[in-house]
Structure 1
Amino acid sequence: MTISPFDSAMLGNLFADAEIAALFTDDAQIASMVLFEAALASAEARAGVIPEASANRIADVCREFRPDPATLAAGTANAGVPVPALVKALKAEIGGDDARYVHFGATSQDVFDTGLVLRLRDAVAIIRRRTRKLIKALIAQAETHRATVMIGRTRSQQAVPTTFGLKAAGWLAPLVRIDHRIDTLCADLFRLSFGGAAGTLASIGDKAIEVERNLADELELPPTDMPWHSQRDVLVDFAAQLTALSGALGKMGQDLVLLAQSEIAEVQPGKGGGSSTMPHKSNPVQAEMLITLARFNAGQLGTFAQSQIHEHERSGASWLLEWLTLPQMIMATGAGLAQAVDMVPNLKVNADRMAANLELSRGAMLAEAATFALAEHLGRDEADKLVKDALARSAASQSNLFDELPKLTDVGIDWAKLRDPANYIGQADDYIERVVTTARRAIKDS
């Protein structure tokens, strides 16, 4: 096993996400930093801070400049960040007097953080695209199974009837809310990082604000009210939304693993995984992955949140902690979404098994319905006592609750209608309609 399963040749197809991973390679990171340096030179030339000819030379070299990441390794280890080594290599490539205008007035964190934001912009686009695709798939499941009655389970025990459509709506609703929160967060997340040595931009003098405005325009990243070198709350908020999204997927995965158990067998989720010794098994691998990735991100969030604690104007230690955690959290979220998008449209829902499982309690899961029906005639306390007596008789004789109830009372209740689980699903259809309507509106407006 490699240090990280995310970049393992053997485990990568299980944990990794090639589309997200491409944004967090050394080459992608270098490309984003080089883009910043080219944009900075252009922004400064527009403000008259550096010669236009030098900015053009820097831009021309940056278009093709892609140093081997290994050549930056020694400098990175020495400085604790790859930017000084990158700038040195870029200056050497440019040569002449123009080279002295590379990285003019900026600091390493400006380059690194803005490069991160540029890649986060692409990563969020991928995440939101997949989330909306999953939302559409769950809308379809919720609508298809509006009337597919199944047992509802609380604390892992049979409770009262529900529908698979409502269960799917329960997986859907959080995704809509989280997608909206991520969309709202983007206005704060996709911001320029540009503050110079200690967040004052003193090195650029009285043209600093103009350069900042030009740089924001070049990169299509608005500036913040002040440089955010040591203000990491938005990144922590983003990580929290990744965790919430993974958690929503994990909850769905956990439900599906339980519904796929041999003794329940109400849903078969996704592609079954085989066993090395038991050919009859079809393990719910995709659903299990959702659980694993959700738990991983939940653990990582606690670590990542500590990166918010900076000392004074900048912290090396807290900054490095982000590098260890955030890319993996994004990868886990992307991988979970990819698994879910592949799995949900192909869920095999066994309505016959759901109906059979509804009969396992011999009517006991409708005891609440019987109690409330009787209470209209007898009062709640007497109704409760009568139903408990009927449940005891049912358990003793292995009979159905609704065969025992008419023996204990002659009140005018349509027992045949009451014993049908489909008649005790409450407002399930209304709730499905609310969730689906909200979800449709959300993906239409996005």
Structure 2
Amino acid sequence: MSKPVVAIVGRPNVGKSTLFNKISGKRISIVEDIPGVTRDRIYAEAEWTGRTFSLIDTGGIEPFSQDIIMLQMKRQAEVAIETANVIVFVVDGQEGITSTDQEVANMLRKTSKKVVLACNKIDSPKYMNNIYEFYNLGLGEPIGISAGQALGLGDLLDEVVSGFPKADEEEYDDLTIKVALVGRPNVGKSSIINRILGEDRVIVSNIPGTTRDAIDTPFEAGGQKYVLIDTAGMRKKGKINEAIERYSVIRSLTAIERSDVSILVIDGDAGVTEQDSKIAGYMHEQGRGAIIVVNKWDIVEKDDKTMNKYKEDIMKALPFMSYAPIMFVSALTGQRVSRILEMVDIVSNQHALRVQTGLLNDVISEAVLMNQPAVSGGRRLNILYGTQVSVKPPTFAIFVNDPELMHFSYERYLENQIRKSFGFRGTPFRFLIRGKDKE
């Protein structure tokens, strides 16, 4: 199951970014006493009482403003609210209720999501009685906190975690391959899904995602069960523009977390964009099986060199995804769409591939003989042995004389040699470099 999502919302300058930084333990958001500083949603992983979750910081909501930046920030926060399992509504406990707070509260009362009301800046006993005023917002009991001094955050997070789905909930069995189609709006994700399902004609059901803002489509083809997770719901008709595209990222992230294999769909006419790079980076970081699908290939002007040139351009833009197979399709004409599921099967198998320890060490030994590690500070790296410790993604523990002697470039060399011997097509894998036991 994917990590729950918590969105921090509220009007500008109430301390949302300070709270975000305290909970995540990282100074990621810019904290400045000027309204509107946080214009983009920022997200991080956080943990409380053993539950990890994705935390979203948002720009402040100004319902009455017609300023274009404020309107974009409002839309951004709305998307975060739609995506979240739990919403933390931050208000200024020193200033009291404002008309903007009331409008935001009206917006939140319409959602079925759990809302936790955080009354911030209660950093002195003289402000404690201010909390009671916020009962008038109709969002339940306000929790007094001071984000700056980290006061009351335990009570706040206890209430947040209580709204999470149960940790042991699992919607599909282990034999079902969960496939997320992610990418910018209007690149053809839904069209590809419709082509796949239309050709297989074995739709079981359509299950609308609740907090995921995605559509799950379980189906079976060739005896294999799949679930296609479509994130195309992130696109608002008539509002496809640069601002709205930025808001799609968090929905892609939650879909990727739920998947076994993630398919990054790229607009063949537009090429790889910054947004594509962000989504691809998250696929890699999460260790998901990965396929890059270039859609709308039918409208790309091409000759016999175009495809290879396009692959080179993708690898330059996404060098960390060199293991991902690249496919060129057209959802409009159906060109090569039928091969997508074949590639999903291959990548899913490679993602779960396990290598015997003896074979792995044979490959490592041969790699070391062909290319000895460099000497550093008068010492040379000595690789004792390796073993695979897990799958999805494949993870290898490599035991050495001194982990500090393992240079990144040599680690990459070992990765290439292992891939050359065993494949691991479409899957990242991890190295855990361990020192030898002192005994």
Which TM-score band applies after superposition, normalised by the shorter structure? under 0.3
**Which is richer in helix?**
1
Greater share of strand residues, 1 or 2? 2
Structure number with greater CO (CA < 8 Å, separation at least 6) is 1
Q: Which has the larger radius of gyration?
A: 1
TM-score (norm 1): 0.21
